[in-house]
Every structure is written in C-alpha cells, then in structure tokens.
Amino acid sequence: MSSIPVTVVGPRSSGKTVYLASLFARLSQQDPGLGFSVTLPLGQSQQLNAVYEQVVGPGDWPIPSTPADFPVWDFTCTVSTPARRRLTPFAVSYVDYSGELLTQGDLYPESLEKLDRLMTASPFLLILLDGERVLRFLAGDNRLISEYRPVFSHLGANQDAVVHFVLTKWDLLEAAGHTLEQVADRLCATREFRLFVDGRRALQGDGGVIRLIPVSSVGRGFARLDENGHVVKTPGARPDPLDVEVPFMAVVVDLFTTELRKYTRARENPAVRAPGNSEGLLRIFRRVSAGMPLVRAFLATRATRNPLLKTAGEVVVDALAEYVDEQARRHGRRIEESAAQLRRAVEQAATDQQALVRIAKAFQARLEEFEDEHPGSRLDLWTARA
C-alpha cells in the first residue's frame, strides 16, 4: 500500500521518536473508542516498542537520535470488522531525523541535503513544540523562538505543505495551570512565530488549516518537574498517552479538505471564501455536490500531478468524491451523527474505500470535538482574529 508522507520536524530533544513510539503504543490494538488500529513492519514495531519501554520504565529517558539516523516509520491504519474482515484504508509514513541537523547541518552536509529535500517535498509537516521548552518560555525564557528559528527557516521552501504544530509534554503545562489559549496567545505574540503562521495562512488561502495540538506521550501524573527543573518520572505512576492520536487523524481530514479547497479555487473566480471551520466546509460540500463528475475528473487530474494524491493512491480520489457526496446529503438532511455511530459505521465497512470515507467522517467529528475542548488549537483562526 502507498503511504501519505509526513515529515516530523523539531530541534534536538523535542521528542520526535518518543511521540511516534507513544502513538504506536496507543494505536497498536483496536480500541472500541476509536474503531481502528495501526500496524508497523515487524522490525519497526520492535524498535518503537523498545523506545516506549524505556520511556515508561524506571530508568532514564531515551537518548536522542544521531544525525546519521533517518528512520521512516510506516503506520498502516487497519480496521477489524465483526465479519472478521481486515481492511487497510490508508497508511502514513513518518520521516524522523535528528534535530541537530537544523543547527549543526554544516557538520553533516549529506544528511542536511537529504533533510532539505524531504522538507521541501513533504505534503505534511509535523512540527513538534517541546513542552518543556514552552514551559520555560511561558516563565520568561525567550530561547524557545531562537531554538525554533532554524525550523521555520528550513520550512520556507515548502509552500504547499499542511502544517501541524504538536505541543508535547502537555501534562507538564496543564499541571502548571496553563491553558492552550494562553500558549497560543504567547506564541503568536512573538514576531517570528506569528510571521511563520501568517505566511502559511497567506499561502494556503481562505479555509487553510494550521493546527496546534497538545499531546502527552505518557499522560497526566507520570512525569513531573523536580526542584532543579528537570523532568523526572513519578515512582509507581502508570502511563496513559493523552490525545497522541489526534495529529494522526488530522492528516487524513486535512488531506481531504485541502484538496476540496483547491477544487473550489480552481472552479471559481474569484476564489471561494470559506471560513476555516466545519460550517465553511459544509458550504464547500454543497457547492461541489452538484458537480460530482467534475469533482472526480478534477481529482483524477490532480492525482497525476500532486505527489500527495499520487502517493496516497487512487482509492483516495474515489473516496474523497464519495465523502463530499455523503457530507452534502447529510447536511441537506441536517442529520447529526454521534461519534459512536460514526465509529460503528467504520467497523461495518466492506471495502478499503468505504472504510476510508467513514474514517474521514469519524476523524472530522473527533477533531471538531477536540477544537471545542481546546480553544486555541486552530492557529489559522487564532492569528486571524488578533
């Protein structure tokens, strides 16, 4: 199966591999609350399991990866149905690398050249904001922005990528009494961060999505800051990863909505102005539902040119068209489907394409809930209102 490529970006010790290990630990078994699981090739699953065992074990935290390492983690989404059918609607390949390349790339020219190629071509960029650094930033330590300046600089060449910020170690920030609104306000108040976000908004146009997603690879109460400000493990605490699956879901939802926005801009002049929220998306669904043959033709054409759709495979093209049609009909009937109903629908799917359509709907519903729970998680709306 072809995969959707995602490059995980962040400076040294920002927790890229730890986050992916936690994601695999969370999704390696099908949870009735989610309706799907993920698989990895055997060697990769063993490596990430070993990392996570070190994370949750009594010893030290894992050592950051070396500049020579460029692992690609191939997460395949699987759905096990009551009829014992095993569906694989999509896959996501996460490219991981040492954050030292962003600050000491002149010492590793070949690796830096490879990283530049990956970041320039990747349709999705997952920027990890280290929660420990953010906590110090909120306390008045302004080194955070200088540490992330090389990240913003290297990403400038990729004008088409969808960007998600993943705020790690959210348990520490939450325990210190911070809200995501406060974090978004402080970040967007800095010149460098705001210029980067505003630049992405300008490139993506109306309806473009830039997310700030708080996660914890170990969950609440597992880690704490000691008297010296170091993150230490709490003896006897049990890990329970928090919201690590949300960025995984966002990749699929934003894959669909990005292509829909490109369709509306290609079909209408002036470009359609669609607010960056679910109601705006439903307006797009209504507009394009009447011209489904044109949608399919447009998407098929884009699949031959766009590395994202080409990589994801033809099933995404057909699934997206079907998704638009279903959402338009649903909106016309004003049907409100619960998250539980959507998950059950995924498990009743008969084909990979049908499972992908239903997963996209379930993921979108979960993201809407998440945005309600975490004001400030949509940076494209946050900076637009300021």
pLDDT tens across 183-218, in order? 999 999 999 899 888 888 887 765 578 899 999 999
215 and 278 share a domain? no
207 and 66 share a domain? yes
114 and 260 share a domain? no
144 and 162 share a domain? yes
- The least confident of 18-27, 89-98, 235-244 is 89-98
In our burial notation (b when 16+ CB lie closer than 10 A, e otherwise), range 68-104 reads eeeeebebbbbbeeeeeeebebbbbbbbbbbbbbbee
* CATH assignment of the domain containing 23: 3.40.50.300
Beta strands in 122-176 (DSSP E): 124-129, 162-167
| pLDDT of residue 21 exceeding 50 | yes
Q: For the whole prediction, is pTM greater than 0.75?
A: yes
Distance CA 53, CA 46 (A): 10
16 and 90 share a domain? yes
91 and 195 share a domain? yes
In a domain, 100, yes or no: yes
State pLDDT tens for residues 153-169: 777 666 778 889 999 99
Q: How confident is the model at residue 272 (pLDDT cuts 50, 70, 90)?
A: very low
φ, ψ of residue 216 to 5 degrees: the values are -135, 125
41 and 189 share a domain? yes
222 and 288 share a domain? no
Number of domains composing the chain: 2
In a domain, 274, yes or no: yes
196 and 310 share a domain? no
Quick check: 170 and 215 in contact, CB under 8 A? yes
30 and 93 share a domain? yes
Distance CA 252, CA 254 (A): 6
* pLDDT score at 271: 42
State pLDDT tens for residues 224-267: 988 888 889 999 899 999 999 999 999 888 877 777 666 666 55
| pLDDT of residue 295 exceeding 70 | no
* pLDDT score at 277: 47
Spatial CB neighbours of 344, under 8 Å, sequence gap ≥ 6: 35
Quick check: 52 and 21 in contact, CB under 8 A? yes
Return the residue matching tokens 């302004």.
Answer: 142
Task: Give residue 12's domain range.
Answer: 4-238+376-385
Q: Select the more confidently predicted residue: 312 or 22.
A: 22
